[in-house]
Amino acid sequence: MVNLRIPGPTPVPVEVAQAGAAPMINHRGPEFAAMAARTTEGVKKVYQTTNDVVTLSASGTGAMEAAVVNLMAPGEEVLVVSIGEFGDRFMNLVKIYGGKLTELKFDPGLAADVNKIEDALKKNPAIKTVFITHNETSTGVTNPILPDLAKVVHARDGGVLIVDAISSLSSVPVKTDEWDLDVVLSGSQKGWMTAPGLAFVSMNERAWAKAAANPQPRFYFDLKRHLDSLKSGQTPWTPAVSVWFQLDKSLELMLAEGLDQIFARHHRLASKVRNGAKAMGLKLLASEGVESDTVTAIRVPEGLNGDEIIKTAIKEYDTVFAGGQGGLKGKIIRFGHLGYVTDSDIDAGLDALKGSLAKVGFKA
């Protein structure tokens, strides 16, 4: 069996996969309505929120696009904070939908600096909306600044903070209400132990007020349509019913394990990966103290080809690692450890990494 050690899609437990094979139901009928209500409450528990949460039939990028079209008016001044490829994706979405972008980028491996964000905001008083990635899978970094950043953003009249927590929420703590986060995004294919196809968006009162006043056209990703439909147990468009079946089961498993236990497991396994990589003589991309508990980015040793290491791991050890993206292509190996993952999965992944490095000529 393949050891899938990428940061998404992640392995799906057998009982979750089997749940997705259930007979189809009427997505306008009482069975779906009951499931939609049940899963919405479950997702809220994982989000640690009493705010509204809507579920979209889309990838995580769909949630990102939904946030942009619902919360950003054409011509609006916005700030996007980027620590990697997915922060850059927010920049592209802002440009496509006609926003006036101020970008604040940090070097790969670094977390965002809240003081630099505050300085950027002071230079442009017109900015009310800030986009940021919580956990950047392209670099293996988690931004620890969300509680402080929310205070900075909300000090501005009408300030709204939009957080991409696609690869963090459900694996590491994201305290939506306690941290006063206005919009939070996630996706089923990450720590939720579910197949790709569902995306989640939480909205508080600040966010709904801004969305209601926003003239930006939207249709499929109109979040108010989704909220209104949910009140009658439906979605505005045909949902990914089979993936919803899986989510229903995965939430049952997650809540039975308990959030604190899930977070502790992820931290322990992430530490095992980091320590194991360092013991091989390898270096991490992420700066100390901001390493992600969902994916570790490992620098490819000088003189070696990252793609060859990944190909060797697949061919010789049935283990799948992810490579670098954008400017990091060939320079890092990304070792995923989120969702449905155990000690034996991590041990096998470390063995595969060590063996693959040896086969391509690495000597510590």
CA distances from 101 to 74, 208, 210, 333, 358 (A): 11, 22, 18, 31, 46
d(CA 226, CA 159): 24
CB within 8 Å of 185: residues ≥ 6 apart? 60, 63, 64, 66, 67, 162, 163, 164, 165, 166, 199, 200, 201
Q: Residue 364: pLDDT above 90?
A: no
Q: What is the mean pLDDT of residues 317-322?
A: 98
Rounded-to-integer distance, Cα 122 and Cα 71, Å: 21
Strands 198-203, 183-187: parallel, antiparallel or unpaired by DSSP? antiparallel
The answer for residues whose C-beta is within 8 angstroms of residue 338's C-beta and 6 or more apart is: 7, 8, 10, 167, 171, 190, 191, 266, 293, 294, 295
Res 204 pLDDT > 90: yes
**Mean predicted confidence (pLDDT) in 284-304:** 97
In tens, the pLDDT along 242-278 reads 999 999 999 999 999 999 999 999 999 999 999 999 9
State the average pLDDT over residues 272-286.
98
204 class by beta-carbon count within 10 Å (0-12 exposed, 13-18 middle, 19+ buried): buried
What does the pLDDT look like over 138-187, one tens digit per residue?
Answer: 999 999 999 999 999 999 999 999 999 999 999 999 999 999 999 999 99
Is the pLDDT at 328 greater than 90, yes or no? yes
Mean pLDDT of the chain: 97
Band the pLDDT of 307: cuts 50, 70, 90: very high
Please tell me whether the overall predicted TM-score, pTM, comes out greater than 0.75 for this model.
yes
107 CB neighbour count, 10 Å cutoff: 9
* pLDDT for res 1: 87
How far, in Å, are 1, 206, 289 from residue 11 at the CA level? Answer: 11, 36, 27
Q: Which amino acid is at 106?
A: F
pLDDT value at residue 50:
98
- Identify which of 138, 133, 171, 136 has the alpha carbon closest to the alpha carbon of residue 337: 171
Distance CA 238, CA 151 (A): 38
Complete domains list, the chain, with CATH: 3-8+258-359 (3.90.1150.10), 15-255 (3.40.640.10)
Q: Are strands 3-5 and 319-323 parallel, antiparallel or unpaired?
A: parallel
Q: How confident is the model at residue 363 (pLDDT cuts 50, 70, 90)?
A: confident
Helices 306-317 and 343-359 pack at an angle, to 10 degrees, of 120
Q: Could you tell me which residues come within 8 angstroms of residue 299 by beta carbon, excluding any fewer than 6 positions away?
A: 282, 283, 284, 285, 331, 332
108-147 pLDDT, tens digit per residue, is 999 999 999 999 999 999 999 999 999 999 999 999 999 9
| CA dist., res. 171 & res. 118, Å (int) | 28
28 has pLDDT over 90: yes
Does residue 158 contact residue 207 with C-beta atoms inside 8 Å? no
Q: What was the pLDDT predicted at 175?
A: 98
What confidence score (pLDDT) does residue 186 get?
Answer: 98
Query: pLDDT category, 7, cuts 50, 70, 90?
Result: very high
Q: What is the pLDDT of residues 49-76, one digit of tens each?
A: 999 999 999 999 999 999 999 999 999 9
What is the structure's pLDDT at 125? 95
